[in-house]
């Protein structure tokens, strides 16, 4: 009888310890807050260049040392060519995961590595003038409509708590394997959110400002 009691006691204690361990693990992976921000670099480019119009918003939420990340933006380029003009416009999003390499920072500062899937919907137009010996000056207009662009990204960067809920940081992006499809009259030139379509590898940089909305203490 004593042996049976000891066995039951061990089973009860083990079950209780396992339940506490599961609860602790579950609590560890519950999100503690949402960060929402924007890309300051895009804002600066709007004022500094007449060739670019755009903006981007960013958000991430933590699951222990893993962060679910979503970006959404608008992108338009206006280029003047020797005999014409090129324009494109569209919206894009990126979604992926960052891994925080700083595991025990109470302020949840980040040095991270991550991955993104990017996709954009856009259109582009090329207008140019040519001269023909028989017909004289001719105006041409080529349009790519209902275009979809896709690519992948490897990311690294930094997030630092500056004051209360205010955060700053940067993201360096190695973009790769762009793909496009749609109704084309010209070779796709510039993919919103990615860059030059002819580049199989493309670098990107964002300097970001965030405000963190806490859910709970963690």
pLDDT digits (tens, 9 = 90+) for 160-202: 999 999 999 999 999 999 999 998 999 999 999 999 999 999 9
Which band of pLDDT confidence, cut at 50, 70 and 90, is reported for residue 108? confident
171 phi/psi in degrees, rounded to 5: -130, 130
**Per-residue pLDDT averaged across 122-149, rounded?**
89
pLDDT of res. 11: 40
Share of the chain above pLDDT 90, in %: 70
17 phi/psi in degrees, rounded to 5: -65, -40
- For residues 61 and 30, what is the distance between their CA atoms, to the nearest angstrom? 10
- For residues 58 and 211, what is the distance between their CA atoms, to the nearest angstrom? 10
**Per-residue pLDDT averaged across 46-53, rounded?**
90
pLDDT of res. 29: 64
Q: How far is CA 180 from CA 48, 70, 80, 86, 213, in A?
A: 29, 21, 24, 18, 37
**Per-residue pLDDT averaged across 72-77, rounded?**
97
pLDDT of res. 21: 44
Q: Are 188 and 199 a contacting pair, CB within 8 Å?
A: no
pLDDT of res. 137: 81
CA 179 from chain centre, in angstroms, equals 17
Using the predicted structure, report yes or no on whether residue 10 has a pLDDT greater than 60.
no
Q: How far is CA 166 from CA 100, 159, 160, in A?
A: 18, 10, 9
pLDDT of res. 142: 94
Using the predicted structure, report yes or no on whether residue 41 has a pLDDT greater than 50.
yes
∠ Cα 76 79 84 (to 5°): 130
Pick the CATH number of 34-214 from 2.30.110, 2.60.40, 1.10.1760, 2.40.160: 2.40.160
pLDDT of res. 133: 72
**Per-residue pLDDT averaged across 48-61, rounded?**
94
Using the predicted structure, report yes or no on whether residue 88 has a pLDDT greater than 80.
yes
Beta strand 110-132 with 166-183 is unpaired
Using the predicted structure, report yes or no on whether residue 12 has a pLDDT greater than 50.
no
């Amino acid at each position: 009888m004593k042996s049976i009691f000891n066995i039951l006691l061990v089973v009860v204690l083990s079950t209780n310890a396992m339940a506490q361990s599961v609860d602790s693990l579950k609590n560890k992976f519950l999100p503690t807050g949402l960060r929402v921000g924007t890309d300051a670099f895009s804002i600066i480019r709007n004022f500094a260049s007449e060739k670019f119009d755009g903006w981007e918003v960013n958000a991430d939420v933590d699951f222990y040392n893993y962060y679910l990340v979503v970006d959404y933006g608008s992108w338009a380029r206006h280029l003047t060519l020797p005999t014409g003009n090129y324009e494109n416009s569209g919206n894009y999003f990126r979604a992926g995961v960052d891994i925080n390499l700083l595991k025990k920072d109470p302020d949840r500062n980040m040095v991270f590595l991550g991955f993104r899937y990017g996709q954009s919907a856009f259109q582009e137009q090329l207008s140019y003038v040519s001269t023909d010996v028989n017909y004289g000056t001719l105006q041409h207009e080529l349009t790519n409509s209902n275009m979809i662009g896709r690519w992948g990204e490897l990311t690294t960067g930094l997030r630092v708590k500056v004051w209360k809920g205010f955060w700053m940081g940067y993201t360096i992006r190695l973009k790769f394997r762009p793909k496009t499809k749609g109704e084309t009259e010209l070779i796709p030139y510039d993919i919103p959110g990615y860059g030059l379509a002819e580049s199989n590898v493309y670098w990107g940089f964002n300097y970001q400002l965030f405000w963190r909305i806490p859910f709970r203490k963690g």
